[in-house]
Amino acid sequence: MTYGLWLQMDQSQWYRDDFSDTNLLTGTLYSNKQMTVKAVLTGYTLTIRLAKGNRWGDHFNRTATIVSATGGTFSYAVAEGQMPPPGIYNVKLELTKSGSRESTLNRQELFILEGPTT
């Protein structure tokens, strides 16, 4: 993969108690800063990580499912109790393949809200 991955999350907020097999945390990875060329994810393992503020302590560290390897899309079915406490978190995706590791370069925020799904 060419150096440089940019992340576009489909959600900007998530209710902490929102867990199901059908309501998924989703996004797309791009291989250019303008986000016009979708990254090819064939053979990679994707890890979604959440950090608070400018610190990269893991508040969420889960392996995502690749939805479309050539379309750069991924998803994750959040299970009960997996989301961190309410707050604003930075989202980063890490890609690993055959011992190499790469992560997204841009900042994407996810606002975790307390409460029900609606």
Each residue of 40-86: pLDDT tens digit? 999 999 999 999 977 667 899 999 999 999 999 999 999 999 999 99
- CB within 8 A of 67, min separation 6: which ones? 26, 73, 74, 75
**Is this model's pTM higher than 0.85 or not?**
yes
d(CA 44, CA 29): 12
Query: What's the pLDDT score for residue 2?
Result: 53
Q: Which residue has the higher pLDDT, 20 or 76?
A: 76
Q: What percentage of the chain has pLDDT greater than the value 70?
A: 93
Q: Which residues lie below 8 Å from residue 118, measured CB to CB, with a gap of 6+?
A: none
Residue 90 burial class via C-beta count within 10 angstroms: exposed 0-12, middle 13-18, buried 19 and up: middle
Instruction: Give me the chain's average pLDDT, please.
Output: 91
CATH architecture for residues 6-113: Sandwich (2.60)
Q: What is the pLDDT of residue 115?
A: 78
Q: How confident is the model at residue 21 (pLDDT cuts 50, 70, 90)?
A: confident
Residue 15 to residue 35: CA distance in whole angstroms? 27
The pLDDT of residue 20 is above 90? no
User: Cα(30)–Cα(41) distance, rounded to whole angstroms?
Assistant: 10
Q: With CA atoms as reference, report the closest residue to 62 among 47, 43, 81.
A: 47
Distance CA 63, CA 94 (A): 9
